[in-house]
Structure 1
Amino acid sequence: MKQRFRNGGLAAWSIHHPVGITMLTLTVLVFGLFSFKQLGINLLPHIIAPNVLVRITDAGVPANIMEDRVTRQLEEQLAITEDATGVDSTTSEGRSAVDLSFPYGTDINNALRDASIRLDRAKRFLPDNDEPPIIYKRDPAQIPVMDLVVSSNIRNSIELRTWADYVFSKWFLNLPGVAAVEVGGGLEREIQIVPDQEKLATVGLSLQEFSRQIRTQNTDSPGGRMIGQNLEITTRSEGRFKSIDEIKQLPLQTEQTMNSAEGSDSTIRVSDVAMVLDKHKDERLRIRLNKVPGIKLSIQKQPQANTVAVVDEVKHRISNLRAQNVIPDDIQVEVVGDQSIFVRHSINNAMLAAGSGALLAMVVIYLFLGSMLRTLIIGTAIPIGIMVTFILMQALGLTLNIMTLGGLALGMGLLIDSTIVMLENITRHQAEGETTDEDAINAATEVNSPIVASTSTNLGALLPFLFIGGMTGMLFQELIITITSAMLASLVVALTLVPALGAKIKNSNDKTNTINKIINYLKVKYYNNIGLFIVNPIKTFLVFALLLGLAIVQINETKQIDLPRVDEGKINLSITGDPGMQLDEMDETVDRLENLLMQEKEVQSLYTTAGGFIFGRSVFENSNRSSIKIQLLPSDRRELDSHQWVAMIKKKIDALKLTGYVIYMRVAGVRGLHITRGSDDISIHIRGGDLDTLRRLGDMAVSLLEPVEGLRNLTHSYEEVKQELKVNIDRQRAAEFDISSADIGAALKIALNGEIISNYIEGDKDFDIRIRLPQKNSTTPNALQNLMIDYKDGNAVRLGDIATIRHSPVASRIVRSQQQRIVEISATYNNDVDRQKVLEEVLDRLHALELPSGYVLYDNDTNKTLQEGQKTGMVVLMLAIFLVFVVMAVQYESFLNPLIIMSSIPFAAIGIAIGLLFDADMSISMPVWLGFIMLTGIVVNNAIVLVEQIEIERSKLDQSADNPLAEAIKKAASLRLRPILMTTLTTVFGMMPLAIGIGEGSEMLQPLAFVIVWGLSFSLLVSLILVPSLYALVHSYE
């Protein structure tokens, strides 16, 4: 046996051990099915952007104050986090957001821990705040996989929000795979204590002392253990408020009560000097689903959890809660965001593409062979390759997603290339009367070398992609892993199982097959006519070279993008009103837009947030901003794609003539797949120190860019200017009353927003206790002048007596990068433009700006995606070509023949150019570059087999014969015609379903398959005409 193995390799061992190889195959299939059942299902590979985010909120604090007190402190501490490459921030009213960037490949968990330590140090420099800082890593897994809206026609908004917070949301936290549930919108219950400052002054209490007494009285204090004979028990003093009435009746310590005579009833209670109200927090957001008010719940999954399984668990839990009456009959629960729907459709489409490709490839094989048994033998490579891939995916922790399944779909034709060559050669020898096992071993050995070389070149072309970093690397590496594992498995099948099974088929009826009659006819014609090209190799080469030059021109003229846009049917509509606009006025306009959109037949649902927006755990409150998330019907149920629909509806919105509003609409990208930092495609920065100067430069930049065709949603970060009331303190007057600026600031905060001084516990529910002054004291600047500021002995003085109040314009937000202020000029591309050309025009125009000294214009790194994508694609392409050459040179121990084979690579671009002529919508993107790279390994396969056969035929022919080189080439070419046609057509038809791009989620991989289908189709002519001609040209000098 050992001798046989040494002589015939794997094929010999397999032919002599059919039972053993069969059982090994069954073992792979069983373990593959087991692994398949264990795989999770997600839309995309697990992508973690190297960013850590910190958020701090402090309601009502102006942006410039937040910048000075919070943002700068955070930036200084976080910027020194180990490996951090950048710190960016956006400060707005009551909110500071700092983004810390790291190089791709950084262990983001270590970065998060290090940044958390820096944040703890920064807290020493931050002002006291009711809301603690939030720090988290940017992870698509943290983006909600499901959004629910809860509504009721009976319950008021306070009751509904309380039920959602303390009952409904808790039922999901223990579900497998659920990480968190965020609740937003509605009215949150709180207890408000509204003191009368005049009454407080009468009893000699300052506002601060009044707050202190309430806070200290509302507490339970532990008293320790009581240990007695046969007894040990804990003690505590019970002081928590048990009812609202108890708060009202709380006695206060005042000068009047302390100085009263013993026995007299001079008790002063909270209700004597203040109102205690069971109300709600100020309404800052209004949430509606299809115009029905409601509460939003966002379900976030754990990073490695199965998206589909988590959503199914949530839906099942909702059904159970409804059946058990946990969800009352008056409450409606509607799904407004379900990531699993698109995941399911995309996965199903990818599986359908893989199955359809496999079926088409098998049909092609059957037509060529005319034998169902031989077709099934070749087809064994497909399930085995898939099962081996599933085993590897499960071992590496990968999931079923559009990339891994797309890799299998792309590999359907490639998986059987090696088995076709192997079985075709065995069949040809059997047809010539060589029917013994040893003949089968010889036939298998004859093609071992080209099969291994072909697979090695394919893998050599894919290998460089595993070393690509960044978003592109994380996105496509799993695709490369699946293709690689499947191809390696198919190689083993071709070298083992196929020879074992092929050797058992002794008879062949191929010559009676109609297709084979056609092939035999073509072989004769090809044999007789290939000589025309062989004897004129230079002319043949020049014709192909001319076509290649035209192809390069065509490809260069094609528009360029970073990644294809995936159409989920989600549209984001943002509305910005004039600064200072109140929520009611904004909501009226939003209502008009909702009415317009609800009339459109393509609209499936509307999710509206008036007064800001909610994204996962982030809540943005701004009365002059609103958003509407539009979900269109699935693509197969509407006539227009999302971009066309946006263009259509924008005209209808423009017809409403909503003056004083800026309305932006954009097609939402796949969650977690946006490469740029924000939601815009273009982001240009001007760095400087003065906000007024930056605003002026931003206005100038926008004016310069308005004529640029292909841009929309053009804006800059300081277009919106708000009015601010500035309180200028008369320090001399304030000093006379021993009042500091901090005392005035505290009084203003209580008067305008109130201050949370304690909490009120009711069962398992926890509500804030807020002290605030009557709203009549803070609705106008004049009323604010009458605000009483406490000073010693319970006395107070009017704010107007120690300060003046005036209006002043301020920026609504402040943007910073690398700890310096910037103005950001941003825009999005129209869908049908060449983004590279538009970006170049944008930069050319902006460089014409005359900047003051100390101000710098620079292209934000996010705009380098196109250039870096092209550069990366070109570098990897060159490296792939080099590795393909290395593999062949090592395989053949020669430089000459590998160079001839390599000549087939560039001419595949002619086929791609022809494809671009038929599909004008196709753009050059990263999947196209990946297709180019994969093509370098695929197109040489036919050339390898052909050149190998030419070498064999040359060794057989009598060298003294007339023109033996041409005769060897003609005979080898005619012999290899059928396997070349079979491998090419099976690969092309195997990828055809993916190249057509039918169904949701196909946009990401369609360009890749498009390139391979068109490039490989034309390479058929290259292999059959150009390669033999070049071989004749090069070897004619020997």
Structure 2
Amino acid sequence: MEPVPVETSKRHGSGLAGWSIEHPIGVTMIALAVIVVGIFSLSRLSVDLLPRLIYPEISVRISDPGVPALVMEDRITRFVEEQLAITEDMINIQSSTSQGRSSVDLIFPYGKDIDIALRDASTRLDRARRLLPDTIDQPTIFKRDPSQIPVMQYAISSGLRSPVELRSWVEDVFSKWFINLPGVAAAEVGGGLEREIQILPDPVRLAGLGLDVDDVVEALLRNHREDPSGRLRTDRQEISGRISGRFDSVEALAGLSIELPAGGQVSLDDVAQILDTHKDERLRIRANGTPALQLSIQSQPDANTISVANHVQERMHWLSDQGLLPTDIDIYPITDQSIYVRQALNNSVLAVVSGALLAMSVVYVFLGNLRRTLIIGSAIPIAVMVTFVLMGLGNLTLNIMTLGGLALGVGMLVDNTIVMLENIYRHQREGESSHDDAANAAAEVNSAILASTSTNLAAILPFLFVGGLVGLLFRELIITISAAVVASMVIALTLVPALASRVLTHKTSRFRHLIDRFINILQTGYANLISQVLQFRWPIPLVFILLLLVSLPTFISGSQTFLPTLDDGQVDLRVIGDPDITLDEMDRRVLIIEQLARQDPDVDSVFVVSGGFVWGRASREAANQASMTVQLTSLSERQISSQQWINRMNQQIAEQQLAGIQVRMRQRGIRGIRTSTSDDDISVRIQGPELDVLDSLAGETVNRLEALPGIQNLGYSSEEQVLELDFKVDRQRAAALGIDVQDINEALIMALEGRVVTDFYEGGRGYDMRVKLPEHLAEDVQDLESVMLFPASEGRQTLYLGDLAEVDLTKAPGNILRDSQMRIVEISASLVDGYPLGEVLAAIEVALVGMPLPDGYSRFDGGAAQTLKEGQKLTGVLLLLALFLVFVVMAVQYESLRNPLVIILSVPFSAIGVAGGLTLLGMPLSMPVWLGMIMLAGIVVNNAIVLVEYIELQQDRGMQRDDAIIAAARLRLRPILMTTMTTVAGMLPLAIGMGEGSEMLQPLAVAIVFGLSFSMLVGLLLVPVIYSYFHPAMRKAQRFSQAEPYVAS
């Protein structure tokens, strides 16, 4: 190609727009390349509900089955806390101790490299492990992140196999099919009965032969083993040896010989009963009324939720097609996180597409020309594709935040192209050549486009430097909006001039004439209104100031919450029974509640765990507790919200008058989001040394709070109690017989729980081998005193428990909480639907005023209250920073202070529209609303910039101040209406709230839609008045802008 002559280049203008006009093919091909690369990037983006959230927390779990909570706290929790408390950069340590389970959580500041913290904590835990009791299971340590929540859960049942056989098949066969799938971290099995070999010695028979239980254990350990036997070295090779001494069947085990003190031998089955049975049943699981096991599929931290679910479902279909699933086994899903993720993302995509169509419809109505509408609309898909490319480079995921960012920005994307195209069209009508008009028009509006984009970015980019949960949640949304807005600016300066210079004509249609006539009527009426306003200026500012004062209570003392609630239809139900309730009694009561739920037409599935809970790899066993997960049908299939369903179910349960239990239900929070270390909406914590005092203070607190409106499921942690056997040893008698407390405890353990002494291997799998006394010897508390502890020996008669100790049945704490290595009691509750968190927290604070606390005890917030206060403080600072930066950008852009001040003073009045929208729709003030107001600071100035720029231009051309204001008001009305209405139309689907997942960003969109709509009135009415006050009739201020703005058609 021949080079373009220099004269031509100068004639067509310089800069990015001028180059684009001269290279239309190049610009078009670059745009096409961006679309192709964007589609490629889109195909490679991970998909999830929310951005990746890695909380700065590390959890340690230690199990020692059967050990009371007080003993666990003393022997394990305190010691682990002391060892881990010196982990570098840790800011707090919290723990929860229950029977047989200790959980310690380390909390770090946001921004801490959690992988480094995990290595440090793991090293310290390894050192501490050597000093912990030998009876504990291997401690586990892991990062707290949403991947701990199972992606999918299956219920597995069989009408033919025993619970033991079913559990063995699921563990040994079925679960193994999933652990090697891409993105799958673990396949955890819960419930059912685990196989166990039990040896039940007859203490009377043993005593008659001069033996005791220890002799049985010793014989097992010495004869049931497989050990290395050294190596045989020959001239050619070296061969390792081992002794195969394990019994390979229960029958062979029964023939184990035990040496008698008097000589001779006795076989094991002569002195003990040998059972191929199962561990004690402590959990009962049902899925939709059928006894079942639970298989939980957990994903890797960076895995794609939908992709993992697809792989799991494909494997299920493959197993079925290959005939690898036995016909007697039923497998059905309990939960599938991908279903809600898909629905939420589909709704977000729908919001983007429908918003784009609405925005383009508005553009077409104003322009009345399809060709010009399509040129403007080209900014949307290209800017979206640029955003996808940047998301891929930035390792972002496709989630409701990034898609929500596109849905929020889709209306804003056409603003710059509208400015550019309208000015080009005006020049065409004035008779310039197609190339010259595009170049000149582009030069006129470069400054306005740059200023508009700069103010948008100045308001929101500081959000990227915010840490904490707010930063984790909204950073990707801000990045997405920023990328799309910058892309739209580049498109307005390149592709739009290139296309407009070649395909636009100044011909107008009949429809356009009608639109122009209507706009002219509006312009004339508006100009007359401004003429009257300038003669009587003071009422306008007064009215707006009064409206602002009226709206202020919405932001100061109005309804407040941290985040809106996503209604995914999952309801968690927890049942707490009296301490003396048995597993069977608890299960009977739970079954009644389960049947009520299953009969409800809005319920899709019910999953029940009696005796505790099972959640992925976590579980807790307590006979007097139960948990239930109810999955409601989708929002489109039911007429009520999850909270309304809870209210209805609570009433039905109350009518059953179930004695001895408390039922608490709550809507499950947003998957993967933890606004505090507490799982409840409301948490008040009292710290102090004595459990009895803490329990009393918690009871008094509950009494003060139970009458408050807006709270439900009120309770406190220390009310979880269990029955405990308290053995009081007669130390003098024991010492006289040469027996110490440890000897008695070892004998008691063997009588009550038994000990796992070794493993029994069969089919390549190991099973516990437990030695314990027969259960019929101690079926009730009264039987314990007659349990033989020590058989008769030389110089000593047979000793029973009643000879050495008294047995008392007492109540003990079921769960002990600690914070900063001190005991606490937590008073918790959930919100009633419709009651804002801030309002309820204020009522709680008033109710607890005057409640005395003893010396050494303190009270503090442990739930979302602190997070809410921190979030409000942070967003307040960010809002002020946004206003300052927007002012700075305008001052730098235009080398003026007076007019930027005129514009920035109009921004706060957009809060009137926000307050009106929240009040009209009954929405509380939340973090998304604050973010919307911060974004408004950069958006609402655009209309004022357009108006003030043209006022300045008209005065430079010789008009008096008031005449210039009236002329600018008339000519700027069309672009102000267009840009405002396209932005509002683009966000409208998100503000309406279209289906699942829309609840998170709906308040943000509502804030912008109502705030921007009202700010249009501010720009049209108040800005001219403010300008007139800041500028005397004889204008002396310097120019606002050196670039001549476009003139609307």
In structure 2, the partner of 1:361 is 359
Q: 2:247 and 2:210 mapped to 1: Cα distance?
A: 25
1:855 is matched with 857
For the 8 Å contact 2:13–2:440, the answer to whether it is kept is no
1:903-934 CA distances to partner (integer Å, 9 max, x unpaired)? 221111122233234212x1100000011111
The 1:139/1:793 distance shift into structure 2, 3 A limit, reads farther
1:218-233 correspondence runs (5 A) = 218-228=224-234, 230=236, 232-233=238-239
Q: Distance in 1 between matches of 2:571 and 2:656?
A: 19
Of 12, 30, 34, 1:24 maps to 30
Is 1:372 aligned to residue 370 of structure 2?
yes
Deviation readout 1:287-333 (Å, 9 max, x if unpaired): 01110000001100011111001001101101111222221011111
Deviations 1:149-180 (A, max 9, x none): 10111111111111111100000010000001
Write out aligned runs for 1:818-837 (5 A).
818-837=820-839
Structure-2 separation of matches of 1:673 and 1:229: 66
Question: Contact between 1:614 and 1:620, CA under 8 Å: does it hold in 2?
Answer: yes
What pairs with 1:454-533 in structure 2 (closer than 5 Å)? 454-510=452-508, 512=510, 513=512, 514-533=514-533
State the shift of 1:745 in Å.
1.7
- Number of the residue aligned with 1:933: 934
How far does residue 357 in structure 1 lie from its aligned partner after superposition?
0.2
1:798 pairs with one of 797, 800, 810: 800
Alignment check: 8 A CA contact 2:561 2:868 kept = yes
Q: Secondary structure at the match of 2:840?
A: helix
User: Structure 1, residues 233-271: CA drift from partner, whole Å, max 9, x if none?
Assistant: 432211122111111111123323xx3xxxxxx331211
Between stretches 1014-1023 and 678-687, larger displacement belongs to: 678-687
Measure, in 2, the Cα distance between the counterparts of 1:305 and 1:175: 11
Taking structure 1 as reference, are residues 372 and 14 closer, same or farther at Cα in structure 2, changes over 3 Å only? same
Q: In structure 1, what is the equivalent of residue 163 of structure 2?
A: 157
Deviation at 1:873, TM superposition (A): 1.5
Counterpart in the other structure of 1:419: 417
Query: Do 1:52 and 1:100's aligned partners in 2 also have CA atoms closer than 8 Å?
Result: yes
Q: Distance in 1 between matches of 2:100 and 2:831?
A: 32
Where do 4+ consecutive residues of structure 1 move more than 6 Å?
791-795
1:646-692 deviations in Å (ceiling 9; x for gaps): 11111111100112111111111122113122321111121111111
Q: Secondary structure at the match of 1:635?
A: coil
Answer yes or no: is 1:640 the counterpart of 2:640: yes
What is the distance in 2 between the residues matched to 1:291 and 1:436? 75
- Which residue is 1:567 aligned to? 567
Hey, what's the Cα distance between the residues in 1 that align with 2:998 and 2:159? 41
Shift of 1:61: 1.1
* Aligned residues of 1:536 and 1:1029 also touching (Cα < 8 A): no
Partners of 1:635 and 1:928 in 2: CA distance: 24
- Counterpart position of 1:432: 430
Q: Which moved more, 1:56-65 or 1:774-783?
A: 774-783
**Partners of 2:740 and 2:324 in 1: how far apart?**
54
Residue pair 2:677, 2:862 contacting (<8 A) in 1 also: no
Matched letter for residue 720 of structure 2: E
When structure 1 is superposed on structure 2, of 601-610 and 733-742 the one drifting more is 733-742
Shifted more, 228-237 versus 444-453: the winner is 228-237
Asked if structure 2 preserves the Cα contact closer than 8 Å seen for 1:435 and 1:506, the reply is no
Identity of aligned residues (%): 50
Structure 1 Cα separation of the partners of residues 805 and 556 of structure 2: 67
Partner letter of residue 325 of structure 2? I
For the 8 Å contact 2:583–2:624, the answer to whether it is kept is yes
Q: Distance in 1 between matches of 2:787 and 2:896?
A: 93
Trace 1:405-804 onto structure 2 (pairs within 5 A). 405-510=403-508, 512=510, 513=512, 514-556=514-556, 558-790=558-790, 797-804=799-806
Q: How do 1:196-215 and structure 2 match up within 5 A?
A: 196-215=202-221
The amino acid that maps onto 1:421 is V
> In 1, distance between residues paired with 2:193 and 2:863?
41
Within the alignment, does 1:889 sit opposite 2:885 as a pair?
no
Amino acid at match of 1:898: P
2:242 aligned partner: 236
Worse-matched range after superposition: 477-486 or 731-740? 731-740
Which AA in structure 1 matches 2:531?
G
Q: 1:819 to 1:555 in 2, by over 3 A?
A: closer
1:162-173 residue pairs with structure 2 within 5 A? Answer: 162-173=168-179
Provide closer, same or farther for how the CA distance between residues 231 and 77 of structure 1 changes in structure 2, counting only shifts above 3 A. Answer: closer
Partner SS, residue 1002 of structure 1: coil
Structure 1 unaligned spans of 5+: 260-265
Q: 2:317 and 2:911 mapped to 1: Cα distance?
A: 55
The structure-2 alpha-carbon separation of the partners of 1:200 and 1:450, relative to structure 1 and needing over 3 Å to count, comes to same
Which residue identity does 1:322 align to in structure 2?
S
Aligned match of 1:985: 981
In structure 2, give the amino acid aligned to 1:821.
R
- Contact residue 207 and residue 790 of structure 1 kept, 8 A: no
The answer to whether the 8 Å contact 1:789/1:798 transfers is: yes
User: Counterpart of 1:814 in 2: which secondary structure?
Assistant: strand
Residue by residue, what CA displacement relative to the aligned partner does 1:408-454 show, whole Å, maximum 9, x if unpaired? Answer: 11010011111111111111111122233122111111111111111
Determine if contact 2:62/2:136 at 8 Å carries over to the other structure: no
Q: Is residue 511–residue 517 contact of structure 1 (8 Å, CA) maintained in 2?
A: no
SS across alignment from 1:503: helix
CA distance in 2, matches of 1:390, 1:764: 50
Letter matched to residue 994 of structure 2: I
Which one of the candidate residues 248, 254, 275 is aligned to 2:260? 254
Q: Return the match for 1:78 from 69, 77, 84.
A: 84
The question of whether the paired residues in 1 share the 8 Å contact of 2:369 and 2:509 is answered with no
RMSD: 1.8
CA distance in 1, matches of 2:206, 2:890: 93
* Structure 1 residue corresponding to 2:971, chosen from 975, 978, 989: 975
Aligned residue in 2 for 1:388 = 386
Alignment length (residue pairs): 1024
Counterpart Cα distance in 2 of 1:793 and 1:21: 101
Higher deviation after alignment, 292-301 or 940-949: 940-949
* Partners of 1:580 and 1:623 within 8 A in 2: no
Partner of 1:262: none
Q: Deviations over 1:557-606 (max 9, x none)?
A: 53111100000011111111110211111111111111111111111110
CA–CA distance in 2 between the matches of 1:92 and 1:976? 70
Compared CA separation, residues 511 and 529, structure 1 to 2 (3 A)? farther
Q: Is the 8 A contact 2:558 2:839 kept in 1?
A: no
SS class of match (2:111): coil
TM-aligned CA distance change 1:49 to 1:300, over 3 Å: same
Q: Which residue identity does 2:516 align to in structure 1?
A: N
Cα pair 1:572 1:665 within 8 Å, conserved: yes
Question: CA 1:616–1:146 in structure 2 vs 1: closer, same or farther (change >3 Å)?
Answer: same
SS in 2 for 1:634: coil
Query: SS at 2:855's partner residue?
Result: coil
Residue 951 of structure 1 deviates from its aligned partner by: 2.0
Q: 1:764 to 1:949 in 2, by over 3 A?
A: farther
Looking at structure 2, the residues matched to 837 and 366 of structure 1 have their Cα atoms a distance apart, in angstroms, of 45
Amino acid at match of 1:170: K
TM-score, length-scaled by structure 2:
0.95
Distance 2:266 2:771 in 1: 18
The answer to whether the 8 Å contact 1:776/1:783 transfers is no
Residue 511 of structure 1 and its aligned partner are, at CA, apart by: 6.5
Unaligned runs of 5+ in 2: 1036-1049
AA at the equivalent of 2:299 = K
Say whether the 8 Å CA contact 2:196–2:769 is kept in structure 1: yes
